Structure 1
Amino acid sequence: MTMLRLDDLRQHSDILRLRNGKALAVRFVEPGDAEALQAYFRSLTTRSRYNRFLGAISELPKNLLAHFTHAGEDDRFSVIATMTIDGFETIVGEARYAYDGDRFEFGLSVDDRWQGQGIGQVLLGNLQCRAAAFGARRMFGDTLRSNAAMIGLARKSGFAFAHNPDDWKLVRFEKQIEIARQEIPCASWRLAATQIALQPAV
């Protein structure tokens, strides 16, 4: 089992800008985020949770929550998108991804109260940067055919669509990654994070 050290988690954060100029921070999830992350998922509407997990759940089961909060475990990573609201760091979106060879698989969600602000588009752009930094040649995700918001976001971001090979209720969106690592402004810490994840946890 491998995971990122907490100091490295805090160091490797991205500060992005929404179209309204507000700052959006994207960082790895820490074990100490478990309660806040669970509260985030509970606050999503039933439809949003169903779309995110492709089934009906009211909260993350304990074992899945543990996986979400340990970066690098089983070569999977979770990030949260946060904004400072009334002086507090508030989770407004999240994503989980895995890198396997030249493939980068991901899923994401945005708080229903903050949808329409461009958070999904900025978060997806950040994931594309992560995919390129890992050296992936293709990134993809699966969603329900009824999830118009995710399909619209993927289409706007240049993804192509195909049938999911395992489930007719799902649609797969995928995109080729053509940018070279050295041309990615945000690549340096992601490559460092890959090396950190290979080190034993302390």
Structure 2
Amino acid sequence: MTVLSLLEHPRHTDHLRLRDGTTLTVRLVTPDDGEALQRYFRNLSNGSRYNRFLGAMSELPPSQLDHFIHAGEDNRFSVIAAIMVEGREVIVGEARYGFEGATGNFEFGISVDDRWQGQGIGRALLGNLECRAAALGATGMFGDTLRSNETMIALARKSGYAFVRHPDDWKLVRFEKPIDPIRQDIPCASWKLVREQRALEAMV
């Protein structure tokens, strides 16, 4: 079983604890999430959608939504961050990421529902992505955002990312961080599955 196939494993779900004790579930998006994910994007403020997609967009085009809900295509994955509210799963954030094995680079983008911002969801989601990057064997993570996106820039700075000039677009800024792919104590399902698989392979 390859690392990429491990990331599609049904156990690949994490339950994180927010500052107020609320449980935040981070899991891979499935085809059944299409309608809920589209509703999430429609409910973002115009500013949040603009920041997330680096331009004006009212919702995900059908072709792009199809990419979001099929994990693993072209080594790209999408996750949702959800909270249970009155027995119902509510999407409060999302992320999409891709891994390039040849360079070891892990590229990502995230968003958090406007109504749930300020509760540590972005920080928790970003930390979880760092774990997933390590599980893939990434040596570095990076993301791009608009220079005017003060919220994302502040989150990246607090999380230890360095800022560099974007190679193609002056309106964007790139933030990047090295990742240690051999860390031994990373609290996420991705890393645990990889360690289990490596242990099994070592026994053969």
Please report the TM-score for the alignment, with normalisation by the length of structure 1. 0.89
Q: Which residue of 2 aligns with 1:175?
A: 177
Match of 1:136 among 126, 135, 138: 138
Equivalent pair of 2:135/2:181 in contact (CA under 8 Å): no
- The count of aligned residue pairs is 189
Equivalent pairs: percent with the same residue? 65
Structure 1, residues 162-192: CA drift from partner, whole Å, max 9, x if none? 0100000000000011352433343023678
Q: Which runs of no fewer than 5 residues in structure 1 stay unpaired?
A: 194-202
Aligned residues: CA RMSD: 1.9
TM-superposed CA distance for 1:57, in Å, is 0.4
Q: Aligned equivalents of 1:116 and 1:29: distance in 2?
A: 24
Instruction: Tell whether 2:38 aligns with 1:38.
Output: yes
SS of the equivalent of 2:16 reads strand
Q: Aligned equivalents of 2:194 and 2:20: distance in 1?
A: 27
Structure 1, residues 2-42: CA drift from partner, whole Å, max 9, x if none? x979x934x32100000111000000000000000000000
Q: Which runs of no fewer than 5 residues in structure 2 stay unpaired?
A: 198-204
Equivalent pair of 2:139/2:179 in contact (CA under 8 Å): yes
Report the AA paired with residue 67 of structure 1.
H
Equivalent pair of 1:83/1:91 in contact (CA under 8 Å): yes
SS of the equivalent of 1:107 reads strand
Equivalent pair of 2:28/2:79 in contact (CA under 8 Å): yes
Moved over 3 A (4+): 190-193
Task: Work out which structure has the larger RCO, using CA pairs closer than 8 Å and 6 or more positions apart in sequence.
Answer: 1
Structure 1, residues 109-167: CA drift from partner, whole Å, max 9, x if none? 00000000000000000001111111111000000000000000000000000010000
Q: Which residue of 1 aligns with 2:162?
A: 160
Equivalent pair of 1:95/1:107 in contact (CA under 8 Å): yes
Change (3 A) 1:190 1:88: farther
Report the AA paired with residue 146 of structure 2.
L
